[in-house]
Structure formats: C-alpha cells, structure tokens
Amino acid sequence: MSARQATPRPSATPRRVVVVGMGPGDPGLLTRLACDELGSCDLVVGAPRLLDALPQGSCARRVAACLTPDVVRAVESAPEGARVCVAVSGDVGMFSGARGLLAALEGREDVRVTCVPGVSSATLLAARLGRPWQGWAFASAHGRSCDVVALLREHPSALVVTDAAHGPAALCARLVEAGVAEGVTATVGERLSYPDERVVSMPAADAARGSFGQPSVLLLERPDAAPAGCVPAWPFASPGIPDERFERAEGVPMTKQEVRAVCLSKLRVAPDDVVFDVGAGSGSVSVEAALLARRGKVFAIERDERAARLAAGNVARFCPGNVALVRGTAPACLDGLPAPDAAFVGGSAGALAAILDALVAMSPRVRVCVTCVTLESLRDGLDALDAGAWEGVDVCQVSVARARRAGAYRLMRPLSPVYVLSARGARS
C-alpha cells in the first residue's frame, strides 16, 4: 500500500485541532477565546493574509497553507498530542475553509477538532448599517459560480461574498444584462475592518460601472417581495396564470391555463431544474416553468420566427433572467444544450419520436410531458413512450369548459380536450 493510500494510524495522544474564525481582518475583532487558542497552541496554519493578521502574542511557529490538502499535511506534520490552530477567514460557519477541512478530518482518530467562531463580514456590514441581518439570504461568488439573478428572484435581500474575478461590479452587471437591475439597491462593504474600509450604497446599475477593492461583500436588495423582473400582479407560487395575462397572436398556439397547470404538475419542476419547452409557441409554459425553476434554467425552443418573437415578449414581461430562447427545429437544435431535468413537448412538427429519443439520450432520467390534441398524435406519443426507454407512462385527458354570459344566465363553453402524456426516462 502506498503512503498516499495508507490510513493514518491511531494516535495514543491525538492532536487537538482548533479551527479559528479570524473575522474580516482586524485582529481587534477576534474573540478572547480565539486569542487564547492562538497564543497557547504549538502551530498556526492558514493563508498568508491571515497569518499576517495574527494578534500579538500568537504562536511563533506558523505554516502558510490555503488549500485543504495542504492544511491537512501541515496538521499531520505536528507531533502527536500537539495543539494546532487553523486560521480561516470570517466565521467558521459562513463560506470559510472550515467546511472542507472538517470533512477531510472527519472520522480520523489521530485528531480532535473543535471550532471557535468569529465575526463574519455579514454581521460586520449589518453593524455598520445599523440593521439586523436575519432576513438576508447568503451566497458566495468567491472562487465559485453564483447566479445572482436567480438569487434575487427568490430573495428580496441577499448578501454575496465576492472575489477579484467576481466582484460587486461584475455581479451587478449580470443583473443589468438580465434586465432585473431596476429598483435594486447595491450596498458594498469594501475591505471591512481595514483602515481603508468603505461602505457605499447605490443603484445596482451604477454599481455595475463602479470599481471596488477586495475583499468585498455585496448586499443586494429589491424594494418589494415580488420576484425581481416578474409582473407584480402575479406574485403567486401556484401555476395557472390566466391566459389574458399573456400577449397573444393569431395563429400562434398557447397551452391554456388549466392544461398548463396539469402539465406542470406532471413535470414536477424543482427550483434548480433545467427545463426544455419544445414548441414554445407563445411561451406560456416557459414562463410558468421559469417561475418554478427559479434557481434553474428554462430553454424555450421554437422554430417559427413569429412565435419566437411572441414568446420572447412574454418572457421579458414575466421572468427575464432564467429563460433562454432557442430558435430552431427539434431535435437538431437541442445539440449543445445542457441535459434537461424536465421537458415539455407542446409542438413537435411530426418529429415526436425523434425528440423523445434525443431527450432521453441527453438525460436518461428526464421527466417528460407531452400534449396531444388528435388521436393520431396520441397514438404516436404512446408508441414512442412504450418503446422501452421510458417508465411510469401515464395518460390523462383534460376537458375544460368555461362559463360565458348569455343574458341573465351563464352557459358552459367547452374547449377542445387535450391528452396529456407523462413519463420518466428508464435508462441507467
């Protein structure tokens, strides 16, 4: 067995590892317990910036390490029974290196791990603003992807930890590009706790053109609880937006309100899903799917130019930011798109079997919902779903009648019945 594969042997006297939250940077914000641990330990491990910020009287033996494997090796270099402090930025429970380190050391018998919390950048910014922070959502763009459009769509106030590549200006620029920056306030806490600290608030569109130093945190706030970029008159979580709320055009099909609600329930759309709307027509299903997949992405696929323009208008009105319009004929235009979690097929131009084959090839466990208005298309849909690549095939007929006035009376006017087919990919 190689040294890399070897399991560390149990230690008679385990090392005591204390993960210390160092706060935003000013040693004066360290807790008394943190200072005591840093002063009484045998080794301090941490990023160079954090080692430079250690308070007076801290242990003199120090190892600079940023990545979790390097930190683990530094801990292992200490003798049995040693007391090791690992310094992490901010608070141990908020986007610090503590998470990866704790996972790496979990279950080992040669270490005993405890954590000492610190002041986070969020609590310091809230203190500077003189406001509570318990209603904020939290996310990180520090070395990772962060969809601020989806974040702000779901939460009225969100604090984002940034880095040099994904700073406040770049994140606000994404809001501008998505068309959801209007009315959003950006507050930047720049180099909090350092002598050159700066806290500024401005419209997100202005912040997109600004320049901010690091480290920085960004607080985004929209003025109300309605999802950013969505029509305030429809703030509900349930599907079934009335048909009259959408722009319509002669000859462009639209899945009706009641049928739409049934189809979305069959699709089981989750907040992080990637959803295809094949044959988007007026875009009503794309809009409703986007409201459900608020952290995900919807691809509205439409081959007709006039319908595509109509869909784009409805998307822009209700939920810009997480819907992408794909102009082309399926299944050919699906190449290059991410694997879908769910797909609605409202129009197939006679290529239903090929579209379903392409969907299950892209995503073996994809959930699909297909609408049919003729017996022939129902037959084709059942043949395709019974071919072996699908399971849980379900068929229902949705028959809707709406009341209309006839003098002093109301009469029910039936709409054409729609067959709704649903299934899930069965490929492993």
What pLDDT shows up at residue 155?
A: 86
What pLDDT shows up at residue 8?
A: 55
DSSP 8-state assignment for residue 170: H
DSSP 8-state assignment for residue 109: S
Distance between CA atoms of residues 74 and 179, nearest Å: 47
The residue among 237, 269, 240 whose CA lies nearest residue 256 is 240
Residues 115 and 156 placed together within one structural domain of the fold = no
Record the tokens describing residue 152, joined without a space. Answer: 């702000």
Residues 129 and 186 placed together within one structural domain of the fold = yes
Residues 282 and 161 placed together within one structural domain of the fold = no
Question: Does the residue 251 lie in any domain?
Answer: yes
Residues 295 and 406 placed together within one structural domain of the fold = yes
Q: Are 42 and 59 in contact (CB under 8 A)?
A: yes
What pLDDT shows up at residue 238?
A: 80
Query: What is the CB neighbour count within 10 angstroms for residue 382?
Result: 17
Question: Does the residue 5 lie in any domain?
Answer: no
Distance between CA atoms of residues 163 and 283, nearest Å: 37
Residue 393, classified by CB atoms within 10 Å of its CB into exposed (0-12), middle (13-18) or buried (19+), is middle
With residue 32 as reference, give the H or E element that holds it: helix 32-40
CATH number of the domain that residue 84 is part of: 3.40.1010.10
* Beta bridge partners of residue 210, listed in sequence order: none
What pLDDT shows up at residue 231?
A: 47
Q: Are 119 and 23 in contact (CB under 8 A)?
A: yes
What percent of the chain is helix, strand and coil (3-state, nearest 5)?
Answer: 30, 25, 45
Domain closes at, from 90, 119, 148: 119
Residues 297 and 252 placed together within one structural domain of the fold = yes
306: left (phi over 0), alpha (psi -120 to 50) or beta: alpha
Please provide the DSSP assignment of 145-173 as one string. ---HHHHHHH-SEEEEE--STT-HHHHHH
Residue tagged 């439409």 (tokens): 302
Residues 199 and 131 placed together within one structural domain of the fold = yes
Residues 388 and 361 placed together within one structural domain of the fold = yes
Q: Are 113 and 107 in contact (CB under 8 A)?
A: no
Question: Does the residue 285 lie in any domain?
Answer: yes
CATH number of the domain that residue 331 is part of: 3.40.50.150
Distance between CA atoms of residues 281 and 255, nearest Å: 8
pLDDT in single tens digits along all 428 residues of the chain: 444 555 555 547 999 999 999 999 899 999 999 999 999 999 999 999 899 999 999 999 999 999 999 999 999 999 999 999 999 999 999 988 899 999 999 999 999 999 999 999 999 999 999 999 999 999 999 888 888 988 888 888 999 999 999 999 999 999 998 888 888 999 999 999 999 999 999 999 999 999 999 999 999 998 764 445 544 445 677 888 999 999 998 889 999 999 999 999 999 999 999 999 999 999 999 999 998 998 899 999 999 999 999 999 998 887 667 899 999 999 999 999 999 999 999 988 889 999 999 999 999 999 999 999 999 999 999 999 998 899 999 999 999 999 999 999 999 999 899 999 999 998 76
Residues 86 and 128 placed together within one structural domain of the fold = no
Residues 326 and 370 placed together within one structural domain of the fold = yes
Start-to-end Cα distance in the chain: 34
Record the tokens describing residue 253, joined without a space. Answer: 């099909």
What pLDDT shows up at residue 1?
A: 44
Chain mean pLDDT for the chain: 91
CATH number of the domain that residue 215 is part of: 3.30.950.10
Give the alpha-carbon dihedral of 33, 36, 37, 42, to 10 degrees: 180
Question: Does the residue 31 lie in any domain?
Answer: yes
Residue 99, classified by CB atoms within 10 Å of its CB into exposed (0-12), middle (13-18) or buried (19+), is middle
Q: List, edge to edge, every strand of the sheet that includes 83-88.
A: 62-64, 43-46, 83-88, 15-21, 111-116
The residue among 163, 134, 96, 127 whose CA lies nearest residue 29 is 127
Which residues constitute the domain of residue 205? Answer: 122-221
Residues 131 and 61 placed together within one structural domain of the fold = no
377 CA to centre of own chain:
37
Q: How far is CA 215 from CA 51, 160, 163, 186, in A?
A: 16, 12, 7, 16
Residues 37 and 180 placed together within one structural domain of the fold = no
Question: Does the residue 229 lie in any domain?
Answer: no
Domain closes at, from 57, 89, 119: 119
Question: Does the residue 326 lie in any domain?
Answer: yes
Residues 196 and 300 placed together within one structural domain of the fold = no
Give the E-state strand segments of 148-195 in sequence order. Answer: 157-161, 185-190
- The count of structural domains within the chain is 3
Distance between CA atoms of residues 184 and 227, nearest Å: 12
Distance between CA atoms of residues 125 and 187, nearest Å: 9
* Beta bridge partners of residue 371, listed in sequence order: 420
Question: Does the residue 4 lie in any domain?
Answer: no
Distance between CA atoms of residues 371 and 418, nearest Å: 7
DSSP 8-state assignment for residue 159: E
Question: Does the residue 7 lie in any domain?
Answer: no
Q: Are 87 and 22 in contact (CB under 8 A)?
A: yes
Record the tokens describing residue 407, joined without a space. Answer: 């003098």
Residue 405 main-chain phi, psi, to 5 deg: -75, 140
Domain closes at, from 66, 95, 119: 119
